[in-house]
A and B are shown apart, each in its own frame.
Chain A
Amino acid sequence: KQEVTQIPAALSVPEGENLVLNCSFTDSAIYNLQWFRQDPGKGLTSLLLIQSSQREQTSGRLNASLDKSSGRSTLYIAASQPGDSATYLCAVDFTSGTYKYIFGTGTRLKVLA
């Protein structure tokens, strides 16, 4: 069964700290992986997309890496800010032909001022 797991489920850090969110998946045959941010009661905002052939992507203070052989991706957030407080979701498109995502349950991040 294709599954996506995110650890930790919740994280609280002081402002300015660098942090790492983890995503693991059960099948290395993936098409791509996408990280999203979700604010309470809102939809999903795309942060970074990593194609199967790529090892990392960067956008501003965010860096996402992909290691297919170990079934892992990490989202690195540098110099965290209170505005980064949200739930971060990892979504994996396993090579199924329909390009649908399997989501993890997310990491709820709180950055304290």
Chain B
Amino acid sequence: DTGVSQNPRHKITKRGQNVTFRCDPISEHNRLYWYRQTLGQGPEFLTYFQNEAQLEKSRLLSDRFSAERPKGSFSTLEIQRTEQGDSAMYLCASRKNTEAFFGQGTRLTVV
């Protein structure tokens, strides 16, 4: 499968714990995006990388959130001290030119 891969697919965590998600983009796609989607809503932009550089962060990305793309390939999104409001689907997308391709997402449930 040469599409965008996200792991894990599902994560249940207790409030206050830290979680980390991984995204493997399509090979040679230099742009990588993280979005968050809550029930009944469209995805909302969180952050964007061009190669290894993080070029933009949404105001939705509080200081408990951090994202990295250390070698310009895979990316990780970490949430520290999770809150119930962090429960959502976290989607990763990659682009080389104009068309975006999305992964299957990581469903986070904070209990």
Contact surface of A with B, Cβ cutoff 8 Å: 4, 31-32, 34, 36, 41-46, 49, 51, 89, 91, 93, 98-106
Contact = CB atoms under 8 A, between A and B. Distances in A.
A53 B55 CA distance: 26
Contact of B56 (A34, A98, A104): A98
A103 to B, nearest CB: 3
30 contacts: A4-B42, A34-B100, A41-B89, A41-B107, A43-B6, A43-B91, A43-B105, A44-B93, A46-B99, A46-B100, A46-B102, A49-B98, A49-B99, A51-B98, A89-B42, A91-B43, A98-B48, A98-B55, A98-B56, A99-B31, A99-B95, A100-B33, A100-B48, A101-B33, A101-B35, A101-B45, A102-B45, A103-B43, A103-B44, A105-B42
B101 interface: yes
B76 interface: no
B48 A43 contact: no
A38 to B, nearest CB: 9
A101 B100 CA distance: 9
B45 A100 contact: yes
A111 B99 CA distance: 28
B99 A34 contact: yes
Contacts of B104: 42-43
A43 B103 contact: yes
Q: Is the interface of B mostly helix, strand, loop or mixed?
A: strand
B40 interface: yes
Interface of B: 4, 6, 31, 33, 35, 40-45, 48, 55-56, 89, 91, 93, 95, 98-105, 107
B90 to A, nearest CB: 10
B27 to A, nearest CB: 17
Contacts of B91: 43-44
